[in-house]
A and B are shown apart, each in its own frame.
Chain A
């Protein structure tokens, strides 16, 4: 069993839709959770991070952590074609060690 599981997609939605991206994890010791966005043939860039449980909002993006279910989510409101990318979840497993999900490919159709 992988430590972090993420549906690879692709997920296709119409412009303006609310998008929900999810990851599950197995290690209850994880406390620090991140979402990266990766455009095609580019490096990942950090979108949001949360510590422990709860929600964090930044513009159209909301990150949610449910530690009891070992489940994290990224919601994108009013999705735009420019949001089309691969979204990677990541969890800190040590000071210099991060476990990444395989990524979910999102397509927002104009």
Chain B
């Protein structure tokens, strides 16, 4: 009963490097989300996917791209990492946009 699984759990990148954060859910949910959590800022939505085949920008999309690979998987890509992208990233899923969101354990990313 895994729920939402994120990989990796920790990552250190150098400025300018790229990487992809992976997320998979096993609850057959339609909607998936990527958030970042920073001290004093709360959780902020980066991108979301209302259903398989669709993605939309959230509050802070600049510097990120996403792919909804299939119903289970939703990845977040940083093409050229910047120190401002140092954060904890959470993936979440929900049955629909107006139902309870289940969160993964988070990925702690440091960009130096």
Interface size class of A (residues with CB under 8 A): 20 to 34
Q: Which of B40, B42, B102 contacts A100 (CB 8 A)?
A: B42
Residues of B within 8 A of A6 (CB): 42
Within 8 A of A (CB), among B66-112: 90, 92, 97-98, 100-106
Q: Which of B44, B98, B101 contacts A46 (CB 8 A)?
A: B101
User: Measured between C-beta atoms, what is the minimum distance from A88 to chain B in Å?
Assistant: 7
Cα A96 to Cα B45 with chains together (Å): 10
Interface residue? B50 (CB, 8 A): yes
B103 touching A44, Cβ below 8 Å? yes
Where chain A touches its partner, the secondary structure class is strand
Interface size class of B (residues with CB under 8 A): 20 to 34
Q: Mark A81-96, 1 if CB is under 8 A from B, else 0.
A: 0000000101010111
| Total residue contacts A-B, CB cutoff 8 A | 53
Q: In the complex where A92-B98, A96-B50 touch, is A43 in contact with B42 (Cβ < 8 A)? A: no
Q: Which residue of B lies closest to A4 (CB)?
A: B42
B50 touching A46, Cβ below 8 Å? no
Show the binding face of B for A, using Cβ within 8 Å: 4, 31, 33, 40-45, 48, 50, 56, 58-59, 90, 92, 97-98, 100-106
Can you add 19 more A-B contacts, CB < 8 Å, to A4-B42, A88-B43, A100-B44?
A: A6-B42, A42-B105, A42-B106, A43-B103, A44-B43, A44-B90, A46-B100, A46-B101, A49-B100, A88-B42, A92-B98, A94-B97, A95-B50, A95-B98, A96-B31, A96-B50, A97-B59, A102-B42, A103-B42
